[in-house]
């Protein structure tokens, strides 16, 4: 398998899951602004939408969209604890968490990257919108659970943590969300996450 990625982007979640499960893969960086891969391919021929992640399952067979990719990877490992069995309420809860990450939390962070010099009222409104989404996660974790769907790390946590970690790059203060801060610290200390950050050159170590 090959992962097309942009360092630090939401594609990092797919890398985390691949590393968590020790699944062999290669990775190729994408300049999404230029629409080119590291090796010079036209990325639009791989994903017409122009964004990462893309998982190349075999030559010419590509899968897009984080929720689909994450489930595909985890389902490829039958003994994985990262996803519950299909057809169970637990699997539906996982998909619920993935949907929230993609359609609510991710979108709340997106304006900060579309407008890097955001300031004034626009920034204030964007912060408040992001805080509303973060508060939802804070409330979920208030019952003492370690992860979104219980006490087992899942693919939804990989995706959610990647987004929450963007707070460090946009100066979004998480101080009032103690449960979220503890949750994020737990995930960032996982060996698979540390290795993934190293591979993408986001912390000290060799980049992919």
What is the tens place of the pLDDT at every residue in 122-138?
999 999 999 999 999 99
C-alpha span between 177 and 182 (Å, rounded): 9
What is the CB neighbour count within 10 angstroms for residue 14?
A: 30
Residues of the chain with CATH 1.20.1050.10: 89-190
Per-residue model confidence (pLDDT) at position 162? 98
- In this structure, what DSSP letter does residue 85 have? P
4-27 mean pLDDT: 97
C-alpha span between 103 and 101 (Å, rounded): 6
Per-residue model confidence (pLDDT) at position 140? 97
Place of tokens 């984080």: 66
Residues of the chain with CATH 3.40.30.10: 2-80+193-199
Phi, psi values for residue 85, rounded to 5° = -65, 145
Tens digits of per-residue pLDDT, 163-202?
999 999 999 999 999 999 999 999 999 999 999 999 999 9
Instruction: Tell me the percentage of the chain whose pLDDT exceeds 70.
Output: 98
65-79 mean pLDDT: 95
Q: Which of 10-24, 90-104, 115-129, 175-189 has the lowest mean pLDDT?
A: 115-129
Sheet holding 2-5, edge to edge: 36-37, 26-31, 2-5, 54-58, 61-64
Per-residue model confidence (pLDDT) at position 109? 97
Closest by alpha carbon to 18, among 82, 65, 64? 82
Going by pLDDT thresholds of 50, 70 and 90, the confidence category of residue 204 is confident
Place of tokens 């985390």: 16
Indicate the pTM of the whole model.
0.95
Domain 89-190 -> CATH class: mainly alpha
Per-residue model confidence (pLDDT) at position 205? 65
Confidence check: pLDDT of 208 > 90:
no
**Which residues are CB-contacts of 33 (< 8 A; sequence separation ≥ 6)?**
none
Task: Please give the mean pLDDT across all residues of the chain.
Answer: 96
Q: How many CA atoms lie within 13 A of 161 on its CB side?
A: 31
60-70 mean pLDDT: 97
What is the CB neighbour count within 10 angstroms for residue 138?
A: 18
Q: What is the CATH number of domain 2-80+193-199?
A: 3.40.30.10
Q: Give the distance, in angstroms, between the CA of residue 87 and the centroid of all CA atoms in the same chain.
A: 24
Six token digits for residue 123: 């920034």
Per-residue model confidence (pLDDT) at position 207? 42
72-101 mean pLDDT: 96
Confidence check: pLDDT of 65 > 50:
yes
């Amino acid at each position: 398998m090959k992962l097309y990625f942009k360092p630090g982007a939401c594609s990092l979640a797919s890398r985390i899951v691949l590393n968590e499960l020790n699944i062999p893969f290669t990775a190729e960086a994408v300049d999404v602004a230029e629409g080119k891969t590291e090796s010079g391919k036209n990325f639009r021929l791989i994903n017409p939408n122009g964004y990462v992640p893309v998982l190349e399952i075999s030559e010419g067979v590509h899968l897009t969209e984080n929720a689909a990719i994450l489930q595909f990877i985890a389902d490829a490992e039958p003994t994985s604890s990262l996803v519950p069995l299909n057809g169970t309420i637990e699997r539906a809860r996982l998909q619920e968490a993935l949907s929230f990450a993609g359609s609510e939390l991710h979108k709340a962070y997106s304006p900060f990257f579309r407008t890097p010099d955001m300031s004034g009222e626009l920034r204030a409104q964007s912060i408040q919108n992001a805080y509303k989404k973060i508060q939802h996660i804070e409330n979920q974790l208030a019952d003492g659970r370690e992860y979104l769907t219980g006490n087992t790390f899942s693919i939804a946590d990989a995706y959610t943590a990647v987004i929450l970690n963007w707070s460090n790059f946009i100066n979004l203060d998480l101080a009032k969300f103690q449960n979220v801060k503890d949750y994020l610290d737990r995930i960032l200390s996982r060996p698979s996450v540390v290795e993934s950050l190293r591979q993408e050159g986001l912390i000290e170590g060799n980049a992919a």
